[in-house]
Copies of this chain bind each other. A is one copy, B any other.
């Protein structure tokens, strides 16, 4: 067991996990803190919500990931605050962890753009609990619609409104359309498939606004081909359990509002440091938190920049590269060596609209259609943590894609654990 230099990594998302992996078997003592006992592969979360994957297929238990690493301790707990002067990470259970270096990789949470009342009435798609809740909710809506004697009420239960046309919104809308198309005709004879409405509301003038316009057009066309209504330039003004209204005057009766309109860093950032830009830690070119010693910030929690000085997007590739960089920088510093400044390598962005249709940008290349989907599949399988997960998820996809089935449809109400 390596004693001595204590590194606390706050958060086991893409950034924190990569950082801790890079530090394994090195002469430092790592404590990886997360509120969950697993690393979540968020890019496939929408597949849990749309009945294709089991929760365990996108959640890698942290103790398993680090099972052979003797210098990495897993600490399940909620971080409440970080005292940069005293070098302590305070947890919600009243205990604290002392550190020599801290890596803040606390991630992000749903952004309601100031309208936090919305949180009560919408469904999220940001963590595993929410994905299961959304899956259960959609299945319960189909059951209610199958029973309903009232046309109005049935329509309301069969209208699914997705707020946000970024990758998460587009991917979930596409997957939901496929679920409905595969499952309804054979299994819900009570429901007319034509009565189902899946609506995407995007605030910008096109879906997938982070992609080139050509790919946005392709994405919208593919969604529409699957029966999804896409409305751009629609910002949500009001929402309740039974309807949503946009500023431009659209009014939709629906029992299901899925909020994928954006993310913001967790509130932890604000409690730690006043000197932040848009709630992200202001960091130098070595990802050190400005104004604090021995503190690094990475991923969605930090405003890391590329070599043009542009703040990096809140996505997994920057977080992973930053995590590895910080780990190497900590190790080099311990050895008294210098490291060059962090430099982000943009490997591209991908989003899938559904079975055999995806969009991708890799450097000067743009992919669409089946080719894009193959690239998307390969990249996601490669980055899935844990070898058996990769093999199993691939087998599962192959099987259910061939059979046009969605297996994970039990509506399970599990009570919360009380240890």
Q: In the complex the two chains form, is A414's CB within 8 Å of B137's CB?
A: no
Q: In the complex the two chains form, is B419's CB within 8 Å of A56's CB?
A: no
CA distance A388 to B399 in the complex (A): 9
A293 within 8 A of B: no
A70 within 8 A of B: yes
A339 within 8 A of B: no
CA distance A26 to B46 in the complex (A): 40
CB distance from A209 to the nearest CB of B (A): 31
CB-CB contacts below 8 Å: A241-262 with B? 255
CA distance A146 to B137 in the complex (A): 35
Copies of this chain present = 2
The digit string for A135-158, where 1 denotes a CB below 8 A from any CB of B, is: 011011101101100000000010
Size class of A's contact patch?
Answer: 35 or more
CA distance A73 to B187 in the complex (A): 9
- The segment from A59-67, A166-174, A281-289, A349-357 found at the interface with B is A59-67
Nearest B residue (CB) for A408: B56
Q: In the complex the two chains form, is A419's CB within 8 Å of B64's CB?
A: no
Q: In the complex the two chains form, is B67's CB within 8 Å of A410's CB?
A: no
Q: In the complex the two chains form, is B132's CB within 8 Å of A68's CB?
A: no
Q: In the complex the two chains form, is B417's CB within 8 Å of A37's CB?
A: no
The one of B54, B56, B415 that contacts A409, using a Cβ cutoff of 8 Å: B56
Q: Which residues of B contact A129 (CB under 8 A)?
A: 412-415
Q: In the complex the two chains form, is B140's CB within 8 Å of A64's CB?
A: no
Q: Which residues of B contact A147 (CB under 8 A)?
A: 75, 77, 95
Question: Given A68-B186, A255-B419: A59 and B132 within 8 A (CB)?
Answer: no
CB distance from A360 to the nearest CB of B (A): 29
For the residues of A in contact with B, the DSSP-based class is mixed
Q: Which residues of B contact A76 (CB under 8 A)?
A: 143, 411
A38 within 8 A of B: yes
Question: Given A64-B187, A418-B137: A388 and B405 within 8 A (CB)?
Answer: yes
CA distance A133 to B414 in the complex (A): 6
Nearest B residue (CB) for A131: B414
Q: In the complex the two chains form, is B37's CB within 8 Å of A139's CB?
A: yes
Q: In the complex the two chains form, is B411's CB within 8 Å of A38's CB?
A: yes
The digit string for A171-182, where 1 denotes a CB below 8 A from any CB of B, is: 000000000000
The one of B144, B392, B414 that contacts A132, using a Cβ cutoff of 8 Å: B414
CB-based closest 9 A-B pairs: A140-B419, A59-B410, A63-B187, A136-B417, A132-B414, A38-B410, A54-B54, A61-B409, A56-B408
Can you list 18 A-B contacts (CB < 8 A)? A54-B55, A54-B408, A55-B412, A61-B409, A63-B183, A63-B409, A64-B409, A128-B414, A132-B412, A132-B414, A136-B414, A139-B417, A143-B419, A144-B419, A157-B419, A255-B419, A388-B405, A412-B414
